[in-house]
Structure 1
Amino acid sequence: SLGEADILRRVMGKKKPDELAKNFVLFQKGARDKGYSDEAIQALWDVLVPFAGYAFNKAHSAAYGLVSYWTAYLKANHPAEYMAGLLTSVKDDKDKSAVYLNECRRMGIKVLPPNVNESVHNFAAQGDDVILFGLEAVRNVGTNVVESIIRSRKAKGKYASFPDYLDKVEAVACNKRTTESLIKAGAFDTLGHTRKGLTAHFEPMIDNVVAVKRKEAEGQFDLFGGMGEEENDEPGFGLDVVFTEDEWDKTYLLAQEREMLGLYVSDHPLFGLEHVLSDKADAGIAQLTGGEHADGAVVTIGGIISGLQRKMTKQGNAWAIATVEDLAGSIECMFFPATYQLVSTQLVEDAVVFVKGRLDKREDVPRLVAMELTVPDLSNAGTNAPVILTIPATRVTPPMVSRLGEILTHHRGDSEVRIRLQGPTKTTVLRLDRHRVKPDPALFGDLKVLLGPSCLAG
């Protein structure tokens, strides 16, 4: 019957072959009743079985094939525009955004923080190798504020300084919370002020400018007369501030940037430490969240603790949830009481750690149930640590080997280079005695462009 056929369709859609097998007897009986031979029934069933796995009808496959061709063409011929569109499509999913940011780095595309003089609502390409963050990606910045910033710069010209910005934008954009978020996200960096300097002075400046704009709106203020001296075109009314040139230290600056954008953008605390992570980590976080490991698998990840929640059970035992982030994603690590007692003093935000644990995929979002936590010694993370590259044997070609030699020669230093050559049945470790390199972000960027983002992931 049609009803029974629909039940069979639903079972196939669940992609569970064992459940489909249970329906064979009913299928066989119905087909026999309609006069089909056992051979014909079995032949048709053999066609249906793959659809409980990964199979689609031809129309579906053809449509996806065409979309795959379109996207491959765009990525190959218009990479910055394509990746900007891709980042915009996942702007509310920080884990996917991190994966695509890492892909941009692999492709040699720079992703820059938002910029009040250049950014629009969403991610946008600038030339062939630069993508700008959209202003709407900044926390506490709404669509009306973004529209005001764009409208004002189109009507009055680009902003020359922070005082000039406050002078030109409409009152809706002169909001303390919004402005602070833009500062911490780096949206004013190109105006020549440090983020620390702006943070120290922006609040009284906004108080002054809001008072002036309110009077303007009420018709009680002579705009040009209130702008300062007649011969001076610079904005006045309390905006003539001397900003300090001091800047926050890198760790704090990046933490604030991440809080506002949800991601590390201008830099990353793990840049330069890829070789340290590859020593002990046997899985990247994106592999865990992307379904490459089975539920219950025991893995070791390496990354930075970007969030930490300390909790208590009903019995009064302490435990914690730590968000660990690497260059391509993040995952929650559950430190239950027994483990927490052993590692509680090492659980500190912004610490670089290795976590060994069991993957738990029973919920919608995979998590790691921590078993061990170790903190690597970063004192020799610079020139003394070896650089370990993981390369599939199938990727080894004369042009690739030649280019690899050029990169290693260009980045000469004191660190050894080792290659983990992955074959179909075994992995061979090679030491390149003729090449020593300086492990830094420039080297790692060139290596990832040539070999892919996972070449340093162990």
Structure 2
Amino acid sequence: MGMENFAHLHCHTEFSMLDGAARIDDLFAAAEQQGMPALGMTDHGNMFGAFAFWEASKKTSVKPVIGLEAYLTPKTHRSERKRVAFGDGTGDDVSSKGAYTHMTIWAENPDGMHNLFRLSSKSSLEGYFYKPRADRELLNRYAKGLIATTGCPSGEVQTYLRLGKYEDARASAAEFRDIFGANNFFVELMDHGLIIEKRVRDDLLQIAKDLNLPLLASNDLHYVHEKDADAQDTLLCINSGSRKNEEGRFKFDGSGYYLKPAAEMRALFADVPQACDNSLIIADRVTTEFDTGIGQYMPRFDCPDGEDEDSWFKTSVMNGLHQRYGDMLSEEVQARAEMEIGIITSMKFSGYFLVVADFINWAKRNGIRVGPGRGSGAGSICAYALRITDLCPLEHGLLFERFLNPDRVSMPDFDIDFDDRRRTEVIDYVSHKYGSDKVAQIVTYGSIKAKQAVKDAGRVLDMPFALGEKLTKAMPAPVMGKDLSLAALFDEKHDRYSEGSEFRELYQNEPGAKLVIETATGIEGLKRQWGVHAAGVIMSWAPLEDIIPVMKREQDGAIITQFDYHGCEELGLIKMDFLGLRNLTVIDDAVRNIKDNRGIDLNLDELPLDDKPTYELLARGDTLGVFQLDGGPMRALLKSMQPDKFEDISAVVALYRPGPMGADSHNKYARRKTGKEEIEPIHAELTEPLADILNETYG
């Protein structure tokens, strides 16, 4: 590794939400173009982007260095929710009026990375006070495999130096050196031309000399290219609710928070070249690897003595089949069950079925309304036997292979619906039974979409509200849930280019529109906030903190993963769907009201599927409030189709999706069913061989 190069290790990606404007793919592409050997990721207080950062690196020759700009308590225990001043409490004192300081930390190896995950998790679970904070105890506990620095100007050492407390600063640096190890703690230097940096530079160099600490140059990167500075400033305005023309608003002073070429960094730190050399030495020391593998953390079911998951699964399925079909099982039932059992056990999914059956049947025993089965999981006779679903796949011609196929290795995924009011009870049940440290809800990341970007840009630029309204109303509507990006509106090759003519005309002629759209383009697609998956819950046999970083939602104490579903799945974690469905709440209330008012015990599982008035209602499109059938276009399709049997309901739900609708299959089905279009075979020679399959769907 040539010492004329440089590695940017202190980088804030888009996962430093509404602060970092560095898109991860763009960051790696630029680093590779400049011939840089490595890139670090040090987002503010979270590890959201760690897996995505590692994945992106695989497309390039640039080594990923996973890190964190951690928040540190001001020498208090993390449980103490109080502000502390090191000095007089002025602007030079501890950040956020005494709530926390900053520290830059990287993982040297996989063990260190998991220690960093644990540090991040505990900071949120146990140390949250305005931000997730670590303390000395956590640093000592998880220091193995970590490399740390004095951090940015908000670090503890620099804070003491600004207050004129050199001895305290040196004592803190010495303590951190002892925690991480002499070769693992660096004095970090930045130079953006800021007075706050210049005031402490000489003292930082003196501390490094006094304690024999190595130096490290960094650039506190917040965006990829110099031209991206305005986009990052726009994010800061959105974050603080400010306008760009406001006096005294929060903004970055100085310049150059981008991926500066190695030559620029070396020129900037020409008096201490070893500070740049050490960026390469750290990068060379680091090894970053994730242990990926589908289903490796499948939750384990506690079986009776003498049984393992496979044997107990087979026993449970056979018992369930006899309950469903009687003492004598038909050859069809036996053959289907044996086929499924063979596939499920060979793919090592027995435990998954047992766990799902456990919490679904617990919910049913406790009077919680559960959906009868939705999605491909309804095609499993084993699921029917275990009462995961309440639909016989043989009766309805449902295929198991759509759910599980040994030729397509993927995790099974039951879509499970619960009464919306009582969903949390089921999550609490699995948390208590399988371990609260092994269960978490799944994070999602909300990005700034085109219309929102335009509105945000108009506001921070202090443009008239009417301009933003005019621009967003001129933007084409989403098609099948897909929005058009701002770039697509100006791309003549895009198949929807013609729909953007009004928008482009405003861009050219409306005063202020060009500036708003160009500003919006800079922030479009960047991460705006995190949320929680509507249904997904991760369950594992191992404590989640040993696999991924997690966090606590302060409003209700819910434990949330810091990696999204894709990252969790790639690392072998299993998602269970716990969807709270309001329709089930309405149904449950209706059944109770019928019992209370008419004395009728209504069993929904025994309702006939050939009730003529019900099909007449569907054919009229009177389906407001009916799950999946209450949208305007769906009601129009029902009127066109005139359903008169249960298979028509299955067909209308299956066809009302982007793929079939793109081929006009939903309307073709309706026209052919009602005799308004002739049935055309897909191929003359296949008419007879495929008759059993295609006749009921009109070809």
With the shorter chain as reference, the TM-score category is under 0.3
Which structure has more strand as a fraction of its residues? 1
TM-score (norm 2): 0.17
- Structure with the larger RCO, 1 or 2 (CA within 8 Å, 6+ apart): 2
